[in-house]
Amino acid sequence: MSLLTLDSVCKSFGSTRIINDVSLDIEAGEKHAIIGPNGAGKSTLFHLISGRYNVSSGAIGFKGEVIHNLPPYEIARRGLARSFQVTNIFPRMSVFENIRCALLWSEGYRYSFWQLLGRQRTLNEKALDVLEQIGLSDKAQLPSGELAYAQQRALELGIAVASGAELIMLDEPVAGMSNSEAENAVALIRRITEGKTLIMVEHDMNIVFDIADRISVLVYGEIIATDTPQNIRSNARVQEAYLGEVPSDAKGD
Amino acid sequence: MFEVFVFATLNGLVTGLLLFMLASGLTLIFSMMGVLNFAHASFYMLGAYFAYTLSAYLGFWGGLLFAPLIVGCIGAAVERYGLRRVHQSGHVAELVFTFGLAFLIEEAVQFFWGRDTKNYQSPELFDFALFTLFGQEFSAYRGFMIAIACLIFGALYFVLTRSRVGIIIQASISHPQTVANLGHNVPLIFMCVFGVGTALAGVAGVIAGPVLTTFPGMATVLGSIVFVVVVIGGLGSLPGALIASLLVGLLQSYAIAADVGMPELLHLLGLSFDSSHPLNDLWTLNLPQIAPVLPYLLLVLVLIFKPTGLMGNREQ
Amino acid sequence: MKKQLPVWLGFALALVFLPSIFDSVLGISILNQMTIWIIFALSYNMLLGQGGMLSFGHAVYFGLGGFMSVHALNLIADEVFVFSITLIPLVGGAVGLVAAIFIGSFSTRKSGTVFAMISLGIGELIVASSLIFADFFGGEAGVTGDRTYGPPFFGIEFLQDAEVYYLGAFWLFVATLFMYLFTQTPAGRMANAVRDNPERAEFIGYSTRRVRFISFCAAGLFAGIAGGLFAINYEFITEENLNALTSGRVLLMAYIGGLGFFIGPIVGAVILTLMNSLLSNYSEMWMLYLGIMFLLTVIFLPRGFAGFIMMHQIAWQNRRLGTLILPYFVTAVPALVFLAAFVGLVELSHKGDDILPFFGLSLGAESMLSWGILLALAGIGALGVKLSRPRLAAAWALANTPTADDRGDVR
């Protein structure tokens, strides 16, 4: 059985249909990329799966449970974590606190107001561990708002993966990075998503073809193809969507 | 019964339109700058006090002309030298700043004019009854208030929908960043809108001063109600502000006029309680008593069930 | 926690010995007020500083706790329930908590303007109802009690203000400790996270509404405890203690002290209580001064007094704090001259025929010379500040650049 199932998902804002009849199955352990031109609805699709928006019609299932129209925190608790296209951290808290907060729910602390964080040894060690993985150990006590951009992106990833969620969704994780920064980020993504299921939106095709097992192409709110990287490369409809239609009478004008 | 209703409606209309004069400025300022100006009613009070002082030299009409101008200049200065700096520290700081400003203006008014009530009178020109209905007189001054309020609403509507400035302002309301990107001097627009908004409050103060008495607490009395009005109407919505102003004005006016309450309700239900009952206060409650509470009750209910207000589309 | 043990010990010792230092009647009375306002301001900061909820109606929980506590004092006096009055703050706290649970259940759904407006509306509702339900709230006159009827607490009957002080100090210590510990728990830390970024908090598994609700209830509890202390200290309470003025006052304290720091509201409560008690004896204008000070703080010290002190952390780490002393002094002297002259002008304008003593001078409102002296002083002071400011700014910049030899460890 698939880990995540989208069944004829539609989303409209007013009379504009942004996502139209999207069906998709993501297997456990799969690395799945969603590509498509700007404005195709990739981020909207992420928001629908993670619960930021409610679906207009259709159904989303995760681990056999219906999750569409649940609030984001309910979905996150079931083991689905995500990052954001625009850096979305807790700017006034330290880097360490950012990660520790991301760990709290999965470590079972819930809304506890009777346990002191300083005494939770396992929790603190795990947080330091995540910091080590994302390479921010030496910035642990710095307010996260003061980090450099690439470091904030790393923290953004760290918050998403800290909870040990089974399904991780990354929205343009390397956007705005220089080449060397992007390289580091890709290595980081590989490392921290090992053995987990990954869905990511990315514009950089090298990274997409490098990481993904399967690719879905989203155009105008519809998935026109879902296949292995090789087959996507040679898919005529995908080329058409990306390169534009080359009509036979183009030269006749 | 009918005459009570008619007069309650007329009084409610006067209160409602007065509220709208304040609420319109507050809404304009909020929609453009995202600042809920807590000190708005304080500018209204300043309007009344300046008009009181000026009317001694220039008469009522001089006060009506110049007091709002002075208030508007003060408002613009507050925006330029206070609010603009505080803006960098975020929304909470801005709210807290205007909160402190309201406090300071009240103290300053007591400093310059003293704590006592000022004998600020409406002009003799209006000392006649506009009409007499069921043996009750409706004073010409109240008619004048209604006329001024309608005039302001008309002018505002005209400026906002027909003039170039109005179009820029309307654009700033919905897309502030875009307007700045188009090369308009947004800080200057902000300063002017703040000035005009506070001047409108000043006008309200000038014409309300004689009726609602001019004293240092007049800002507090009206201040929170105006807030209630703009929130109920929907933050940033001028039509919403108008509807909510009239709604609150009429609601209060009817509640004061309606001489019914718990005793009647209990009588209807066939219940009765001894006056020594511990909840006696509750059983003897009547509508005029709870009239001051009604706007707040309405506010809380609206916020719970429709946090955007009646006509609003923005939550923050 | 272990590292902070000396701080808490110092705090406890200060609480024990303060009345020996300020042992006048006025001194003890001011200390008593401080215990109340510190707890109240700290509880307010749980909302605004730590939870990002701007409330204009926090006095509701303080006042309701206070009213119930006065009624509890009367029940003790009437021997309906008999318990030691040392437990009265718990009565206040329980009432504050219950009220917060009820009101918070719908008001914490949103933060920002919506929350602020609901808090304002609820505040006005409660104030208006307090005038309607005269039996419980005592109308405009309020209700009175007597703290001396209860069973003596180890022989103490709380006849003296000093005895009340130690009761207040005990509750102050306990409340401060628990409010501090709350910031170190998962719920307290998530309150910061929700304040910083409510959207992201939802995606790491937390309901922002529930997180806010917990902070809100805790704030109500501690506000109620402060209200209970108020009832014991003053033995009466009126509608004024739950209205917008009191709510505004606690906002002022927290803000002036500094929202971003745990100690901020303590600093703010101490400063404002001192000003309230001392200045109000000397001048009728003190509220005006307070208003001006508040606005200047919001404009120039957005992080409050505690934030101002913390601004010097980098200079301290650079071991260059000493270089700031002289420039500060050079700017502070003309600033104080200006301040004195300004206050003199304000006071003189309201003296009428009385004489205003001003640093050995006798000034009169009739004398042009008096006005001239003050205006000249104000001018000199302002000029001095203007001239010395660039030097201060330069010294500040220098103190905040790392020194060459420790550039290595300051990263």
Mutate to test the interface with B, among C109, C127, C132 (most CBs of B within 10 A): C132
Per-domain residue ranges for chain B?
Answer: 2-305
Q: For position B50, what pLDDT does the model report?
A: 93
Give the whole-angstrom CA distance, residue A8 versus residue B9: 55
Q: How far is A196 from chain C (nearest CA, A)?
A: 17
Identify the burial level of C155 via C-beta atoms within 10 angstroms of its C-beta, where 0-12 means exposed, 13-18 middle and 19 or more buried. Answer: exposed
User: Torsion angle of alpha carbons A207, A209, A215, A216, nearest 10°?
Assistant: 60
Closest alpha carbon within chain A to C217: A113
Whether A142 maps to a domain, the answer reads yes
Q: pLDDT digits over A4-47, tens only?
A: 999 999 999 888 899 999 999 999 999 999 998 888 899 999 99
A76 to chain C, any CB pair closer than 8 A? The answer is yes
Whether A251 maps to a domain, the answer reads no
CB atoms within 10 A of CB C362: 10
User: pLDDT tens digits, chain C, 411 residues: what are they?
Assistant: 567 899 999 999 999 999 999 989 999 999 999 999 999 999 999 999 999 999 999 999 999 999 999 999 999 999 888 888 999 999 999 999 999 999 999 899 888 878 888 898 899 889 888 888 888 898 888 999 999 888 888 888 888 888 999 999 999 999 999 999 999 999 999 999 999 999 999 999 999 999 999 999 999 999 999 999 999 999 999 999 998 889 999 998 999 999 989 999 999 999 999 988 888 777 778 888 888 888 988 888 888 999 998 888 888 888 888 888 888 998 999 999 999 888 888 888 877 777 778 787 777 777 788 888 889 999 999 999 999 888 888 888 888 887 655 444 433
Q: From chain C, which residues contact A within 8 Å (Cβ)?
A: 1, 181-182, 184-190, 192-193, 195-197, 199-207, 210-211, 214, 218, 260, 411
Q: Do chains A and B touch (3 or more CB pairs under 8 A)?
A: no
Tell me, rounded to whole angstroms, the distance of Cα C225 from its chain centroid: 15
Sequence-distant (≥ 6) Cβ neighbours of residue A145 within 8 angstroms:
A89, A91, A92
DSSP A143: B
Q: How far is A72 from chain C (nearest CA, A)?
A: 6
Q: How far is B281 from chain C (nearest CA, A)?
A: 6
Give the whole-angstrom CA distance, residue C250 versus residue C253: 5
**In this complex, do C132 and B36 lie within 8 Å of one another by their Cβ atoms?**
no
Is the Cβ–Cβ distance between A215 and A202 less than 8 Å? no
Chain B residues closer than 8 Å to C132 by CB: 281, 285, 289-290, 293
Q: How far is C49 from chain A (nearest CA, A)?
A: 12
DSSP-assigned letters across all residues of A27-47? -TT-EEEEE-STTSSHHHHHH
Residue A111: which domain range? 4-244
Computed over every residue of chain B, the mean pLDDT equals 83
Residues 32-51 of A with CB under 8 A from C: 50
Is the Cβ–Cβ distance between C201 and C67 less than 8 Å? no
Sequence-distant (≥ 6) Cβ neighbours of residue A176 within 8 angstroms:
A149, A153
Pick C292's closest partner by Cβ from B89, B104, B224: B104
DSSP A250: G
* pTM of the predicted model as reported, rounded to 2 decimal places: 0.90
What CATH number labels B2-305? 1.10.3470
Pick C125's closest partner by Cβ from B103, B296, B303: B296
Pick A112's closest partner by Cβ from C187, C204, C411: C187
Is the Cβ–Cβ distance between C254 and C55 less than 8 Å? no
Whether A252 maps to a domain, the answer reads no
> Two tokens at B132?
């007499």
Q: How far is A122 from chain C (nearest CA, A)?
A: 14
pLDDT > 80? residue B126: no
pLDDT (average), residues B280-287: 72
Give the whole-angstrom CA distance, residue C85 versus residue C78: 13
> Two tokens at C19?
């009345």
Give the whole-angstrom CA distance, residue B24 versus residue B7: 25
Chain A residues closer than 8 Å to C185 by CB: 112-117
pLDDT (average), residues B213-220: 85
User: Shortest CA distance to A34 belongs to which of A253, A202, A242?
Assistant: A202
Q: For position B314, what pLDDT does the model report?
A: 52
Pick C204's closest partner by Cβ from A105, A112, A117: A105
Q: pLDDT digits over A164-218, tens only?
A: 899 999 999 988 888 888 888 899 899 888 889 999 999 888 899 989 999 999 9
Closest alpha carbon within chain C to B286: C132
pLDDT > 80? residue B258: no
DSSP-assigned letters across all residues of C102-163? HHHHHHTT--HHHHHHHHHHHHHHHHHHHHH-HHHH-TTT-EE--TTSSPPBTTB---SHHH
**In this complex, do C218 and A113 lie within 8 Å of one another by their Cβ atoms?**
yes
A102 to chain C, any CB pair closer than 8 A? The answer is yes
**In this complex, do B108 and C54 lie within 8 Å of one another by their Cβ atoms?**
no
**In this complex, do A104 and C1 lie within 8 Å of one another by their Cβ atoms?**
no
Buried b (16+ CB within 10 A) or exposed e, C268-297: bbbbbbebbeeeeeeeebbbbbbbbbbbeb
Pick C210's closest partner by Cβ from A76, A102, A111: A111
Whether A98 maps to a domain, the answer reads yes
Give the whole-angstrom CA distance, residue A2 versus residue B288: 65
- Percent of chain B beyond pLDDT 90? 15
Domain covering C5-284 assigned CATH 3.90.1150.10 in the classification: no
Q: pLDDT digits over A103-144, tens only?
A: 999 999 999 999 999 999 999 999 999 999 899 999 999 999
Chain A residues closer than 8 Å to C210 by CB: 111
Pick B289's closest partner by Cβ from C132, C252, C302: C132
Chains near C (3 or more Cβ pairs under 8 Å): A, B
